[in-house]
Structure 1
Amino acid sequence: MRLTMSEFARLVGLAPSALRFYDDCGLLPPAEVDATNGYRYYDKSQQPRAQLLRDLRELDLPLPDVRLALDASPSEVADLIRTHLRTLEAKSTATHEAATRLLTQLLSQKTTALLGGPELSSAIRQVAPTARAGTDSAHGMGSGDPATPVTAAGSGSAEGGDDLGLVLSCVLIELEPDEVVFVATDRYRLAVRTVRPVEFGGVGTRVLVRADELAEVSRWAAAGDVVRVEVNGGLVLARGDESRELQLVDAEYPAYQQILDGLTPPACRVVVDRLGLLSALTGRDVVAFDIDQQSLRIDDEVQLEAIGSGAVRIGFTASLLAAALEASVGPDVLLEICEPARPVVVRSADQGTFTTLVMPVRLDG
């Protein structure tokens, strides 16, 4: 029985975006792809494999282990799961008692969000470096640079040297009941990380804080099971009986959501080894990528195995792309390319809550 991707997604409990990703990875290709419109169709016989894939990923089993488990015997899958569970138990630091204690301290008239300490720390470490580079980028990359800024004029960004430099040195934090979003840009990169709050009080709001001040509390936040984020004239982070206060910056931030909403569907999507790609960028300036469904070649010198769809030749400033790869997590990274002159989406295969946009550069000839 042939099912559309949406029908199959509902049947097996996976999002359509996840099915597209697992198709690109070669873990769950559709039974048929319409050559005319590219629509994917699945067969009901694929349901057991899809549900096993879903369950393994819900356990946060790394993608390489999932690849092994899908074609392994039941006993081998059981051994992989037991080993993974032992790893999770060893890493677990969150406690219900700590969350309950901090929840009682929330004040309804203030905007408060209770976040996992390690998650908050991770979000800061992934996003803040993009902003900290902002001041140099604002004044050191002129109109002759081969890259077009991600936050182009008209997107709501502040114009003018002093105001722009101030904004680019900050992190935007949007607090809503369903998610807390951390955003930073240096005009040539855009980093966005979402964290789901354990508890939320008050009304949604957004604040701007200096990235260097936020980065200073990253390690402190990681040491807490949970951290209470409170906005009340300033930004206060509380961990148990300790707290840190950050001053708010009064400035207009670029309309980053318009940039994300304006992205066109990718013409090329490729999954490649993150650390292998990062290593290949070391010591290079501007690099040329030649990408097809099975490989990613760099400057016609280095070739990495890849899984993907579409083909493209595209250039990057090696340091900008390397920074995005360093902030990502997991063994694999997904590049989504719509065209060589538009922002490229860099996503961790193992963490869908973190997204980076990197501007490519023009290649001579």
Structure 2
Amino acid sequence: MDESEELLGIGAFARRVGLTPSALRFYDDCGVLRPVRVDPASGYRFYGVEQDGRGVLLRRLREAGLPLVDVRVVLDGGEAEARTVLRAHLERTRRTADTARALVEGLLRDLPMEAPEQPLGRAVVGGAELASAVRQVGPAVADAGTRAEFPVLGCVLIEVDDEELRLVATDRYRLAVRVLRARTAGGGPCRVLVDAAELADLATWALRQQYVDVEVYGDGGCLVGEDGERRAFVGRTAEYPDYRLVLEGLDDVRHRVIVGRAVLRAAFAEREKGAALTTRPGAQEAVISGGGGSPVTVSAVCTGPSLRVAFDPAVLVPALDAGVGPDVLLEIASGTAPVVVRSADQGSFTTLVMPVRERVSRETD
């Protein structure tokens, strides 16, 4: 280093990079951030301005909780090594956070509800109805891989509004909305996010109740049975996708297909992503083809012009399973727009499924 270049004392350098002087002394002793020069008489440490970047990165890594062994790899190792270390640390922090959250939620559930607190909203619905609604929206909850990246998609949104109880779930490829008409309701519009696994456990309990009072509080809520037994749940604080914008933004329906739910499921179940459904004007049938299987013709009531739309069976089949009754109604705007999947005799349950690019198999199509 040129002797004419400015050197910074430990206090000035600490302010520049956001570390304390004591931390800098520690990192010097550890060999992670050495000063440019140490005065032999006074022992004072001096740093160069070119060390700013390393100092700031060191601070950020420590704020992220990386141990010094990993910090050294990121600072001095190659790019591939740094990425490996950072990804491993990210996974560790996620697991730690999940464990801590589960423990705290358990503690909160074990605490008695505060008697003076009044719910923001409440709705009384049939216990079996609530359990069925949870089962129906469940397939649209994100899988473990997606939840690791977007934890909020592992939740179900519960809304109380205008004498209705709504349950909403989405994994970005599906959107499920189930509306229950409340027998009685009170309070203003409110919502709460509940972990899907926790809600499934509550649904098992609700199935044994004739009626359940769903109460929503600011940080969670509870289900109250007819005998006064209370089952609390913990709310999640996160921004949930605006499902109303999605529903309001749907294009006008150009095609409607009514088909047996079990028949359509069987036709898609063993196929790979990209299997297609084809309809033609005036034909009382639909053809399912592609995706590694032979074409299958099924009876259907079809309206609208000719249509060919492809699906991922791993997404479509669970949506069909979540329906009720023997029939399913598909409302389709185009081969690329979200497809509305409804139980033909239950308009209060709606699932949106995203089409995919068609996979053509020369051997079977």
- Give TM-score, length-normalised by structure 1: 0.61
Aligned to 1:236: 222
Structure 1 residue 110, shift from structure 2 partner: 4.4
CA contact (8 A) 1:320 1:358 kept: yes
Deviation readout 1:77-117 (Å, 9 max, x if unpaired)? xxxxxxxxxxxxxxxxxxxxxxxxxxxx9996642211111
Partner in structure 1 of residue 347 of structure 2? 352
Write the mapping of 1:34-73 to structure 2, written as runs, cut at 5 A: none
Q: 2:201 matched to 1:216? A: yes
Query: Aligned partners of 1:363, 1:106: CA distance in 2, in Å?
Result: 58
Q: 1:243 to 1:289 in 2, by over 3 A?
A: same
Partners of 1:213 and 1:322 in 2: how far apart?
A: 24
Aligned counterparts of 1:106 and 1:201: Cα–Cα separation in 2: 17
Report how far residue 333 of structure 1 moved: 0.4
- The equivalent residue for 1:102 is none
Instruction: Indicate if the aligned counterparts of 1:288 and 1:313 stay in contact, CA closer than 8 A.
Output: yes
1 CA distance for matches of 2:118 and 2:187? Answer: 5
Q: How many residues align?
A: 236
Please give the secondary structure, in 2, of the residue aligned with 1:329: coil
1:342 aligns to 2:337 (yes or no): yes
Question: Could you say what secondary structure the match of 2:172 adopts?
Answer: coil
The 1:213/1:314 distance shift into structure 2, 3 A limit, reads: same
1:138 Cα offset (Å)? 6.0
Percent identity reads 45
Q: Which has the higher contact order (CA 8 A, sep 6+)?
A: 1
In the alignment, which residue of structure 2 is the partner of 1:41? none
Q: In the alignment, what sits opposite 2:145? A: 136
CA distance in 1, matches of 2:221, 2:119: 15
- Give secondary structure in 1 for the equivalent of 2:236: coil
Q: CA deviation at 1:241?
A: 3.0
Q: Show the counterpart of 1:264.
A: 251
CA contact (8 A) 2:157 2:193 kept: yes
2:221 and 2:118 map into 1 onto residues whose CA distance is 16
How far apart are 1:295 and its partner, in Å?
1.1
Structure showing greater Rg? 2
What's the C-alpha RMSD, in Å, of the aligned pairs?
2.0
- Does the CA contact (< 8 Å) of 1:128 and 1:212 recur in 2? no
- 1:295 partner amino acid: E
What SS does the aligned partner of 1:217 have? Answer: helix
Which structure 1 residue ranges, 5 or more long, are not aligned?
1-104, 140-160
Q: Is the 8 A contact 2:191 2:216 kept in 1?
A: no
- TM-score normalized by the length of structure 2: 0.61
1:287-326 matches, cutoff 5 A:
287-292=275-280, 293-299=283-289, 301-310=295-304, 311-326=306-321
2:153 aligned with 1:168: yes
Q: Distance in 1 between matches of 2:116 and 2:256?
A: 44
Equivalent residues in 2 for 1:65-84, closer than 5 Å: none
Distance 1:129 1:106 in 2: 37
Q: Which runs of 5+ in 2 are unaligned?
A: 1-114, 361-365
CA distance 1:296–1:195, change in 2 (3 Å): same
Give the structure 1 partner of residue 266 of structure 2: 279
- Match of 1:328, SS state, is coil
Give the Å deviation of 1:312: 0.5
